[in-house]
Amino acid sequence: MLKNHFKLISGTANRKLAEDVAKNLKIQLTPVEIKRFHDGEIYCRVLESVRGCDVYVIQPTSPDASLNLMELLIMVDALKRSSPDKITAVVPYYGYCRQDKKTKPREPITAKLVANMIETSGINRVIMFDLHVAQVQGFFDIPSDNLDVIPVFAEYIANKGLKNIVIVSPDAGGAARARSFAKVLNAPIAIVDKRRPEPNVAKVQNVIGDVKGKTAFLVDDIIDTAGSITEAANILIKFGAKEVYALATHGVFSKPAIERIASSEIKEVVVTNTIDIQKEKMISKLRVISIAPLLAETIKRTHEGLPMGVVYENLYRKLERKIA
């Protein structure tokens, strides 16, 4: 049971997820009015008192990233001026996360700029999922959580009951993620040698590791244009993989991702609902696993000042029993 003075508010980016979280917490979302002026500016008003409350605002900065970010900042400003006790921004997908360093002279570090903006808006804490690179968490100087979905996805893989599997990272940058999956599932790993000649273009040349005759599970943080996973799937099949599945936390699915997935070698693509996926993108190969129970538990524990470690320990214990 949640203590008093708890409020959960949703922006417009992923109201379905916020409703699911509210359901898990057995509470109602706090009503908020969000609308646009004719010139495109955003207006926001919280429709009940939040004075002295511990407030959680759910708003992934998914496409349209800039618009959803601005809406988050405006919601936080509206809250800050309404005397809550604390405000936590729950940003299940952190847009601009991939611009985390300078790769050429005179480039910005936009992931840091966005962290500055969110922090300056007046939040006390931020909860995020599977950041593109873990160090983005350090761009915030307030308490932050970067939750992973490894136990959720590993359970999906374990439920298949397959013996000869390999966990594959679609690029060298994702090797640590693949290794974590492989450790939990007691499986070998392979890495696809991916290059990016320019943004949104993926070229693959080689596979490091043995995939011959195995069911390959590609694991990634983001599927954007789906160039990375479909190119990776092609080369895995070329190197003798029996079949390929792809799992990614965030389904951004910019054009032409859905067309690419539909015509690819991939048997099934699994994402979470950190980003709301429109109906027209829900092709038969696509499966969405909800993070709402995990997010609800995280919010509850944050509100009650309880550790999160035990939640993951329990999830891993359950998984170990399944795999044994």
Distance CA 154, CA 148 (A): 11
Distance CA 86, CA 122 (A): 9
Catalytic residue list contains 194: yes
Among 60, 92, 174, 251, binds ligand R5P (CB under 6 A): 174
Looking at residue 119, the DSSP 8-state letter turns out to be H
CA angle 285, 288, 289 (to 5 degrees): 135
Q: How far is the CB of 250 from ligand R5P (least distance, A)?
A: 9
Dump strand ranges (E) for the chain.
6-10, 32-36, 42-46, 54-58, 86-91, 125-129, 144-147, 165-169, 189-198, 201-208, 215-223, 243-251, 266-272, 286-289
One character per residue 214-253, x = contact with ligand R5P (rule: CB under 6 A): ------xxxxxxxxx-------------------------
Exposure string of 235-264, with b = 16+ CB inside 10 Å and e = fewer, is: bbbebebbbbbbbbbbbbbeeebbebbbeb
Q: How far is the CB of 153 from ligand R5P (least distance, A)?
A: 15
**Residue of 16, 104, 160, 194 with catalytic role:** 194
261: helix, coil or strand?
Answer: helix
Q: How far is the CB of 101 from ligand R5P (least distance, A)?
A: 12
Q: How far is the CB of 223 from ligand R5P (least distance, A)?
A: 5
Q: How far is the CB of 185 from ligand R5P (least distance, A)?
A: 20
The residue among 3 and 104 lying less far from ligand R5P, judged by its C-beta, is 104
Size of the site for ligand R5P (CB under 6 A): 17
Distance CA 174, CA 176 (A): 6
The residue among 18 and 149 lying less far from ligand R5P, judged by its C-beta, is 149
CA-based nearest residue to 236, from 215, 222, 261, 219: 215
Q: How far is the CB of 60 from ligand R5P (least distance, A)?
A: 16
200 near ligand R5P (CB under 6 A): yes
202 near ligand R5P (CB under 6 A): yes
CB count in 10 Å sphere of residue 108: 10
The residue among 79 and 275 lying less far from ligand R5P, judged by its C-beta, is 275
Among 20, 54, 171, 297, binds ligand R5P (CB under 6 A): 171
Kindly indicate which of the ranges 84-92, 170-178, 182-190, 307-315 contains the residues binding ligand R5P, using the contact rule CB under 6 A.
170-178
In order of 41, 43, 71, 322, the CA distances from 38 in angstroms are 7, 11, 16, 55
Report 111-140 residues binding ligand R5P (CB under 6 A): 132
Report 281-320 residues binding ligand R5P (CB under 6 A): none
Distance CA 54, CA 88 (A): 8
Among 63, 173, 209, 256, binds ligand R5P (CB under 6 A): 173
Distance CA 225, CA 8 (A): 32
User: Would you say 49 and 239 are in contact if contact means Cβ atoms under 8 Å apart?
Assistant: no
The residue among 176 and 306 lying less far from ligand R5P, judged by its C-beta, is 176
The residue among 10 and 99 lying less far from ligand R5P, judged by its C-beta, is 99
Residues with active-site annotation: 194
**Contact set with ligand R5P (CB under 6 A):** 98, 132, 170-171, 173-174, 200, 202, 220-228
